[in-house]
Amino acid sequence: MTKYVYDFTEGDKDQKDLLGGKGANLAEMTKLGLPVPPGFTITTEACREYLAHGSAPGELRVQVTMALRQLEDHLGRRLGDRHDPLLVSVRSGAAFSMPGMMETVLNIGLNDASVKGLAEESGDDRFAWDSYRRLIQMFGKTVLEIPGEVFSDALDKAKSAKGVASDVDLDVDDLQALVTVFKDAVRQHCGQDFPQHPREQLDMAIDAVFDSWNTDRARLYRRRERIPQHLGTAVNICTMVFGNLGSSSGTGVAFTRDPATGRTGAYGDYLANAQGEDVVAGIRNTLSLDDLKELDPKSHKQLLKVMRRLETHYRDLCDIEFTIERGTLWMLQTRVGKRTAAAAFRIASTLVDENLITMDEALSRVSGSQLALLMFPQFDRSAPRDLLTKGMAASPGAAVGRAVFDSATAKAWADRGEHVVLVRRETNPDDLEGMIAANGILTARGGKTSHAAVVARGMGKTCVCGAEELDVDNTSRTARIGSIVINEGDEISIDGSTGEIFLGAMPVVPSPVETYLESGVEAALVGADDETAGLVRAVDRLLTHADARRRLAVRANADTAADAARARSLGAQGIGLCRTEHMFLGDRRVLIERVILAGSAAERDEALAALLTLQREDFTELLDTMDGLPVTIRLLDPPLHEFLPDRTELAVKVALAEARGDSGPELDADRKLLAAVERLHESNPMLGLRGVRLGLLTPGLFALQVRALSEAACHQLLAGKDPRFEIMVPLVGSVMELHLVRDEAERILADVAAANGVSLSAPIGTMIELPRAALTAHRIADAADFFSFGTNDLTQTTWGFSRDDVESTVFAAYLEKGVFTISPFETIDADGVGRLVEIAAHEGRTTKPHIKLGVCGEHGGDPESIHFFHRTGLDYVSCSPFRLPVARLEAGRAAITARSASSA
Ligand code: PEP
Ligand code: MG
């Protein structure tokens, strides 16, 4: 018999897959002896069964009955009893946190009879009726799918009729009247009464939580966060404790450290006399933990003790949800908390100083994508500024965009290429699409733990929240600050690191982390405040550790001396790919055109001679910049048509000239050119005359490049330098192709060396970017000193996807349909393309055990792919200069992960 239900006393924190994050951590806290209200968890497996069959397994209902009876016996109360009712909450909780995406229903067990029992037992009529109206409201919206406004509008109406602003100012009579209005609304929308039977309420709520796994917004969130769609959610049934029992009660959320900056010290938001989601919904502005200390020193002290215990136990920043019921503290949730990129680095480094984790663990707690976020520019502090107001710095970054006031507009404007800032009074989970589309998010209400803040931090998106002076009016699509009005479409700038909001577009400057990466710690510390200095030092510490740990070397893809210089300052240990075609595009394109179209050997030699000088200069400069480090020069690769004039344009030009009756040498030349272009035209140029094929079919072309390179190297040698070049042949499919190029290259190297009286040698290798090359790597290795995996072309040719077209035509639908969760051009398709890399690496090493293996496709800078290349045993990755720091960090993390996996 499958066990679908676990008591909180049964599980632990490592059972997230089965019990969801919330359930696993509730069990862990119970095990630690922390004050958790008793309850039980329904497994994710039950949810998967429910979703597959459209109904809960029969056995689940039985197991819920058993768990419920045990709970009732333990507490001496019955669910929904008319005298002393046990009430429970029903809360979702998947293996991965999905803040605000799924459902919660509180106060299950209340009905027309038990509300009176609750009133009597608590001695507080107002509390009992407030709890009942909350149940109908939440149940109505979540379980019965009645639009939320039906209830919130009625609540607003009740408040305005009474002339009060806050829910807490409604008295028993008002709440009783509201309950009647709510029940009428339920009858009107559903054609039946609000269910009075407690167990029926419970079962319906459980099913609703299961269903909430598949709402559009939850699916969208998972796609974005790359959470598999099939996992399902667990459901936690927990004894209710009440934060709405008057002023000595309340509810809050807290972090053991500041999740925005990583600063040490507890941080939290508290609302007295409130329940459940009131805190994160940003409905009323919250109090700080210091305020709580004033209000209730005993609970505050106990809370801090619990938080310290949790942090010591989890050895990481924890976030918690708690409730104080008449002076008694209850823990409702904990988890390792989300944090900004800056906080991640600072916390990891601080925890090492506190001897809670090792440097290896610290490195595993930060990621390349977090580092990439820290490299984004910031607002220029010296620029003139038009400060409108300040909110809370909820998620860092500098966002500039046009103000929009709803999610749909944010999406529509962003789709047409506008930068937008989504301005809301407060956000709710339905705003997710707009939040994704916007450059930044600005809210008037809510603290650092509000929905907007939590979700923005999770997405790495700039967010300022709780800007109280901001009066947001959705109807007129304006936001006012005193007499200043921001209209929809006005440009604003928000600073998620300071909370500042500016009118107009502020200029941006490099971030201190970027300055550190390019120019070192000292340069980044000039004028830095403590926070910035702490961040720079933490990044430096962790990146240095990654460099010490990694096995993969990190090279750059760079075509110019300027790129190479930048790459070198960012830690490149060589150039893994110099695409020489970039040296021939632009003005120099016609020179190649002349080589390709030459009518005679003499004409071609003349054109080649003109190129030789230019190439030699390019290579000399590059070798000089990278002196002492390997530089892989790839011989010409791109498809032929990139060097020839556009066929249509040329045809039109000739046709117009003929129509005008023109004649003369220009028209003759154009006609000749057009005939050649027509002759060389290809249907699939990416699969045509490119790479080694172009080299073998165009006499002298590769020879020119090898000669230029050899002469540049001689020049450097004679100048006392240390040039280390490698010659790389593109698009090889057969070892014969490589032999032909290699033989010629070796001859030229020897000639040039002899002519200059130096000894010259260079590794000659190939790209592995065609499936045939990968599958015959054991033979290709005979003629190659190294392999560099061209995973861009290898992905294109393995999938049969045209890399220039398919992302705009096919990928959106494929991502939507779940064919893949990320583009295979971004992250290596380990099962297919990756398999070819594994085969080629293995076969290559079988023939030549010390053959050097690298990768120079875009995947060389992608975190997940870097871990794959580490596992596959490659020697280096090569990527764009700006991705080098990310690659260094991830290569270090990959080494640590592999080590801990092998020692486990
Ligand atoms: C590749 O194909 O992965 C590669 C690096 O070469 P290019 O992108 O220039 O085709
Ligand atoms: Mg390629």
> How far away, in angstroms, is 626 Cα from ligand 1 center?
22
User: Does the CB atom of residue 577 touch ligand 1 within 6 A?
Assistant: yes
Report the distance separating Cα 452 and Cα 410, nearest Å. 15
Quick one: pLDDT at residue 475? 87
User: Does the CB atom of residue 579 touch ligand 1 within 6 A?
Assistant: yes
- Asked which of 59-68, 239-248, 448-457 is least confident by mean pLDDT, the reply is 448-457
Quick one: pLDDT at residue 107? 95
Higher pLDDT, 498 or 840: 840
Report the distance separating Cα 573 and Cα 879, nearest Å. 11
| DSSP 8-state assignment for residue 337 | P
Q: What is the pLDDT of residues 596-650, one digit of tens each?
A: 888 889 989 998 998 999 999 999 999 999 999 999 999 999 888 888 888 999 9
User: Does the CB atom of residue 793 touch ligand 1 within 6 A?
Assistant: yes
Residue 804, Cβ neighbours under 10 Å: how many? 10
Question: How many contiguous H segments (helices) and E segments (strands) does the chain have?
Answer: 37, 33
Q: What is the pLDDT of residues 463-478, one digit of tens each?
A: 998 888 899 998 899 9
Q: In Å, how far from its chain's centre is CA 225? A: 7
Active site residues: 451, 856
Ligand nearest to the CA of 636: 1
> How far away, in angstroms, is 730 Cα from ligand 2 center?
7
Does residue 6 contact residue 238 with C-beta atoms inside 8 Å? no
In the structure, what pLDDT confidence band is assigned to residue 533 with cuts at 50, 70 and 90?
very high
Nearest residue (by CA) to ligand 1, atom 5, is 857
Does residue 5 contact residue 40 with C-beta atoms inside 8 Å? yes
Per-residue H/E/C for 502-519: EECCCCEECCHHHHHHHH
Report the distance separating Cα 147 and Cα 117, nearest Å. 30
Quick one: pLDDT at residue 642? 81
* Coil/strand/helix, residue 328: strand
Ligand 1 atom, smallest distance to 557 CA: 5
Quick one: pLDDT at residue 373? 86
% of residues, the chain, pLDDT over 90? 74
Report the distance separating Cα 290 and Cα 153, nearest Å. 34
Q: For residue 129, is pLDDT > 80? A: yes
The letter for the amino acid at 432 is L
> How far away, in angstroms, is 701 Cα from ligand 1 center?
20
If one residue of 633, 856, 877 were mutated to test the ligand 1 pocket, choosing by the most ligand atoms within 8 A of its CB, it would be 856
Quick one: pLDDT at residue 824? 92
Burial 487-501 (b: 16+ CB within 10 A, else e): ebeebbbbbbbbbbb
* Coil/strand/helix, residue 731: coil
Residue 757 in tokens: 């009286």
Quick one: pLDDT at residue 128? 95
Scanning the structure block, which residue is given the tokens 């099913």? 207
Residue 756, Cβ neighbours under 10 Å: how many? 16
Quick one: pLDDT at residue 605? 92
The full length of the chain comes to 904
Does residue 868 contact residue 852 with C-beta atoms inside 8 Å? no
SS3 content of the chain, % helix, strand, coil (to 5): 50, 15, 30
> How far away, in angstroms, is 550 Cα from ligand 2 center?
26
Q: Which residues pair with 257 in a beta bridge?
A: 264
Quick one: pLDDT at residue 283? 61
Residue ranges of the domains in the chain? 5-239, 250-339, 342-371+513-543, 378-509, 550-639+682-903
Q: What contacts 755, CB < 8 A, 6 or more positions away? A: none
CATH number for 5-239 (one of 3.40.50.2300, 3.40.50.800, 3.40.80.10, 3.30.1490.20): it is 3.30.1490.20
Mean pLDDT for the stretch of residues 450-457? 75
Ligand nearest to the CA of 795: 1
Q: Which residues pair with 631 in a beta bridge?
A: 575, 725
Q: For residue 828, is pLDDT > 90? A: yes
Report the distance separating Cα 345 and Cα 516, nearest Å. 14
> How far away, in angstroms, is 239 Cα from ligand 1 center?
59
Q: For residue 461, is pLDDT > 90? A: no
Quick one: pLDDT at residue 280? 62
Higher pLDDT, 365 or 384: 365
Ligand nearest to the CA of 788: 1
Q: At what angle do helices 125-142 and 198-212 cross, to 10 degrees?
A: 50
Quick one: pLDDT at residue 821? 80
User: Does the CB atom of residue 796 touch ligand 1 within 6 A?
Assistant: no
Ligand 1 atom, smallest distance to 793 CA: 2
* Residue (of 883, 889, 892, 888) closest to 558 by Cα position: 883
If one residue of 581, 767, 788 were mutated to test the ligand 1 pocket, choosing by the most ligand atoms within 8 A of its CB, it would be 767
Quick one: pLDDT at residue 592? 84
Nearest residue (by CA) to ligand 1, atom 3, is 790
Ligand 1 atom, smallest distance to 789 CA: 3
Residue 894 in tokens: 């990959």
Mean pLDDT for the stretch of residues 429-440? 87
Mean pLDDT for the stretch of residues 876-895? 95
Quick one: pLDDT at residue 686? 87
Nearest residue (by CA) to ligand 1, atom 10, is 793
Does residue 371 contact residue 346 with C-beta atoms inside 8 Å? no
**Is residue 634 marked as binding?**
yes
Output the DSSP codes for 366-431: S-HHHHHHHTS-EE-TTS---EEEE-EEEE-SEEEEEEE-SHHHHHHHHHTT--EEEEESS--GGG
> How far away, in angstroms, is 793 Cα from ligand 2 center?
5
Report the distance separating Cα 371 and Cα 376, nearest Å. 9
In the structure, what pLDDT confidence band is assigned to residue 281 with cuts at 50, 70 and 90?
low
* Residue (of 643, 633, 559) closest to 595 by Cα position: 643
Mean pLDDT for the stretch of residues 175-191? 96
Please give the model's pTM, rounded to 2 decimal places: 0.83
Ligand nearest to the CA of 577: 1
User: Does the CB atom of residue 880 touch ligand 1 within 6 A?
Assistant: no
Residue 760 in tokens: 């010259």
Output the DSSP codes for 82-142: SSSEE-EEEEEEESS--TTTS-EEEEET--TTHHHHHHHHHT-HHHHHHHHHHHHHHHHHH
Does residue 604 contact residue 595 with C-beta atoms inside 8 Å? yes
Strand 553-557 relative to strand 876-879, pairing? parallel
**Is residue 325 marked as binding?**
no
Q: What is the pLDDT of residues 770-819, one digit of tens each?
A: 999 999 999 999 999 999 999 999 999 999 998 877 876 788 788 778 78
* Residue (of 33, 876, 176, 885) closest to 540 by Cα position: 885
Q: What is the pLDDT of residues 246-268, one digit of tens each?
A: 889 999 999 999 998 899 999 89
Q: Which CATH architecture has domain 550-639+682-903?
A: Alpha-Beta Barrel (3.20)
Nearest residue (by CA) to ligand 1, atom 4, is 790
> How far away, in angstroms, is 772 Cα from ligand 2 center?
14
Instruction: Answer yes or no: same fold for 5-239 and 250-339.
Output: no
**Is residue 769 marked as binding?**
yes
**Is residue 311 marked as binding?**
no
The letter for the amino acid at 555 is R
Ligand nearest to the CA of 856: 1
Nearest residue (by CA) to ligand 1, atom 9, is 579
Report the distance separating Cα 737 and Cα 696, nearest Å. 8
Mean pLDDT for the stretch of residues 57-62? 94
Mean pLDDT for the stretch of residues 401-414? 95
In the structure, what pLDDT confidence band is assigned to residue 17 with cuts at 50, 70 and 90?
very high
> How far away, in angstroms, is 859 Cα from ligand 2 center?
12
* Coil/strand/helix, residue 323: strand
If one residue of 766, 769, 803 were mutated to test the ligand 1 pocket, choosing by the most ligand atoms within 8 A of its CB, it would be 769
- Asked which of 152-156, 274-278, 284-288, 644-648 is least confident by mean pLDDT, the reply is 274-278
Quick one: pLDDT at residue 479? 94
The letter for the amino acid at 79 is L
Instruction: Give residues whose Cβ lies within 5 Å of ion ligand 2.
Output: 769, 790, 793
Does residue 465 contact residue 446 with C-beta atoms inside 8 Å? yes
User: Does the CB atom of residue 857 touch ligand 1 within 6 A?
Assistant: yes
In the structure, what pLDDT confidence band is assigned to residue 448 with cuts at 50, 70 and 90?
low
If one residue of 770, 788, 792, 801 were mutated to test the ligand 1 pocket, choosing by the most ligand atoms within 8 A of its CB, it would be 792
At the fourth CATH level, the homologous superfamily of domain 250-339 is ATP-grasp fold, B domain (3.30.470.20)
| DSSP 8-state assignment for residue 639 | -
Q: For residue 216, is pLDDT > 90? A: no
Q: At what angle do helices 701-718 and 735-756 cross, to 10 degrees?
A: 40
CA distances from 588 to 273, 283, 581, 709 (A): 74, 64, 10, 18
> How far away, in angstroms, is 857 Cα from ligand 1 center?
5
Does residue 843 contact residue 787 with C-beta atoms inside 8 Å? no
DSSP H or E stretch at residue 768:
strand 764-768
CA distances from 165 to 168, 291, 425, 428, 527 (A): 9, 22, 16, 21, 46
Does residue 795 contact residue 801 with C-beta atoms inside 8 Å? yes
Q: Is 803 left (phi over 0), alpha (psi -120 to 50) or beta?
A: alpha
Output the DSSP codes for 812-847: HHHHHHTS-SS-TTTS--TTTHHHHHHHHHHHHHHH
Q: In Å, how far from its chain's centre is CA 749? A: 47
Does residue 554 contact residue 360 with C-beta atoms inside 8 Å? no
Quick one: pLDDT at residue 428? 78
Ligand 1 atom, smallest distance to 859 CA: 3
User: Does the CB atom of residue 760 touch ligand 1 within 6 A?
Assistant: no
Mean pLDDT for the stretch of residues 173-188? 97
In the structure, what pLDDT confidence band is assigned to residue 279 with cuts at 50, 70 and 90?
low
> How far away, in angstroms, is 688 Cα from ligand 1 center?
15
**Is residue 522 marked as binding?**
no
Quick one: pLDDT at residue 848? 98
User: Does the CB atom of residue 769 touch ligand 1 within 6 A?
Assistant: yes
CATH number for 378-509 (one of 1.10.10.10, 3.50.30.10, 3.30.450.20, 3.40.50.720): it is 3.50.30.10
Q: Residue 315 class from Cβ within 10 Å (0-12 exposed, 13-18 middle, 19+ buried)?
A: middle
Ligand nearest to the CA of 790: 1
% of residues, the chain, pLDDT over 70? 98
Q: Is 282 left (phi over 0), alpha (psi -120 to 50) or beta?
A: left
If one residue of 632, 791, 793 were mutated to test the ligand 1 pocket, choosing by the most ligand atoms within 8 A of its CB, it would be 793
In the structure, what pLDDT confidence band is assigned to residue 904 with cuts at 50, 70 and 90?
low
Output the DSSP codes for 582-609: GGTSGGGHHHHHHHHH-SSHHHHHHHHH
Residue 612, Cβ neighbours under 10 Å: how many? 15
Mean pLDDT of the residues in the chain: 92
Quick one: pLDDT at residue 458? 66
